[in-house]
Chains A and B, each alone.
Chain A
Amino acid sequence: MLVDVLIVLVKVVLTLTWTLLLALFLTWVERKQSAVMQDRIGANRASVFGLRLFGLFQPFADAIKMLFKEDFVPSFSERFLHWLAPAMSFFFVAVTMVAVPFGDAVRLFGRRIPLQVVDLNAALLFVLAMLSLGIYGILISGWASRSRFALIGSLRGAAQLISYEVALGLSLVGLIMVFPSLRLSKIVEFQGGTLFGFLPKWGIFLQPLGFAVFFLAGLAETKRVPFDLPEGESEIIGFYTEYGGLKFGLFMFADFLEVIVLSSLAVTLFFGGWQVPWLGGLNLAPWAVTVLQVLAFNLKVFFFCWLQVLVRWTYPRFRYDQLMDFGWKVLVPLGVVNILVTGLVLAVR
């Protein structure tokens, strides 16, 4: 019993640390990648004892700066809720990572330990629910600030996120029809075989339209640039206008975490999770297979983080009516079409 608790604790700590580290360095990746895309160099001055390492210490410098800033709460704001909102936004994003399988189960001292914090039987619903609860962080922040600009920003955010959640949910229905389970570990296991003998049986090949809708709706859920109307960092004012210091930092950090969560979900659901294709014929030792699996999962996640940063630094922002049109008139119908076509194929087969 005690051992079980210990194992879960270790897994929680490891998952949280790894995710937070990824998010921390994603800020660095974002700055550097955008710089390289624009023929610049990017942050490279932060140093420890003269050691620069391409500015890898920049995230820590930023974090220290945020920590030492004044924790300013406007006198007209709702104090408790003003404090609660960033914590909520951060918590509900971070907690989604517990359902993501980082690798297959390993056997240690006769115990079967799945490389996943909890193997929920409705993990997919849990993830979607947690992503939806993130909206409350935005709404509460806007309302508790008692500032008109923040309130309007948070309403924009709520409208956008709720609209795109419909498309996000619809895009996953087809996937659940193909891989009949809500357990993320099961879904990953289902993607283990091959199609036609050579193609890995990943969700992307069975549900290409579903993936397109999922990824676009997911991009909107992360509230980053082509869809950044709730916050509008560059010019319009958004829901965290009245925030500063570490609370603002938490909102930013939740944003970066969302990028990682979306990448992990895209990988888990559509790109085979920890599955390494064509590994069956190689007869490797079990520990080597596990290492390869965890590595494969993380590499796939890195790729999607890269892709999202590329999207963020390539496309300009949608106008608000374009945003709503795109969500309701393009993604939702495409999601429904995807369900119908999947159902048809499954029925005919």
Chain B
Amino acid sequence: MKTGRIMKELLRGGWITARHFFVNMAFHTLKLFGVKTKRRGAVTIQFPEERKKLSPRHRSLHRVLSREDGKPRCVACMLCVTVCPSECLTVEAAEDGDPEVQKYAARFVVDLNRCCFCGFCVEACPVDAIRMDTGEIRLAAASRGALELPLDKR
């Protein structure tokens, strides 16, 4: 009795995987012959060639925005440096000739070895100088030094 039930379930399991195989194979074959189908044979997204659409609020690589004249928008108020929980930002202030601006960032370096992509710097910035909306998620490098990105130079 019990053996019979087990056999039935085993056969059902085999049927399920076999069905997946044949259905997916059918879609793969259609794709091979150039037939467009709504469903695909696999859920895999083949990364470098295929990209998943990032959400607009996705936090990716930082960028420092500039003014209309090309200078960095940052006023070196150090709020982002203060709020950063992983202490990955380095901002060096310098005096600006314009009395309206007074200070600007001579260096603006983010150390991606440490960054945890929390986005606090973006929220803290009073002049909207730093954003994390580049959509760049391939942030691998061969050395640690290569991950210390000078954002003002980009």
Contact = CB atoms under 8 A, between A and B. Distances in A.
Contact of A38 (B13, B20, B28): B20
Contacts, number: 41
A41 B44 contact: yes
A39 B42 CA distance: 4
B25 A36 contact: yes
Interface in B31-57: 41-44, 46
B121 to A, nearest CB: 37
A313 B24 CA distance: 16
Nearest to A306: B21
Chain B binding surface SS class: helix
B17 interface: yes
B3 interface: yes
A41 B45 CA distance: 9
Contact of B21 (A33, A41, A311): A33
Contacts of B13: 314-315
A72 to B, nearest CB: 28
A36 B25 CA distance: 7
B10 interface: yes
Interface residues of A, number: 14
Nearest to B22: A36
A315 B21 contact: no
A37 B21 contact: yes
Given A33-B21, A36-B21, A310-B21, A41 B10 contact: no
A221 to B, nearest CB: 19
B127 interface: no
Contacts of A310: 14, 17-18, 21
Contacts of A38: 20
Interface residues of B, number: 17
B14 A314 contact: yes
A330 interface: yes
A310 B13 CA distance: 10
Residue from the set A33, A314, A330 with the largest chain B CB neighbour count within 10 Å: A314
Nearest to B18: A310
Given A315-B10, A330-B3, A37 B17 contact: yes
B20 A37 contact: yes
A159 interface: no
Nearest to A314: B17
Contacts of A40: 42-44
A51 interface: no
26 contacts: A33-B21, A36-B20, A36-B21, A36-B24, A36-B25, A37-B17, A37-B20, A37-B24, A39-B20, A39-B41, A39-B42, A39-B43, A39-B44, A40-B42, A41-B42, A41-B46, A310-B14, A310-B17, A310-B18, A310-B21, A313-B17, A314-B14, A314-B17, A315-B10, A315-B13, A315-B14
Interface of A: 33, 35-41, 310-311, 313-315, 330
Which are the 9 A-B pairs with shortest beta-carbon distances?
A: A314-B17, A41-B44, A41-B42, A36-B24, A37-B21, A37-B17, A39-B43, A37-B20, A314-B14
Given A39-B20, A39-B41, A40-B43, 14 more contacts: A36-B20, A36-B24, A36-B42, A37-B18, A37-B20, A39-B44, A40-B44, A310-B18, A310-B21, A313-B17, A314-B13, A314-B14, A314-B17, A315-B14
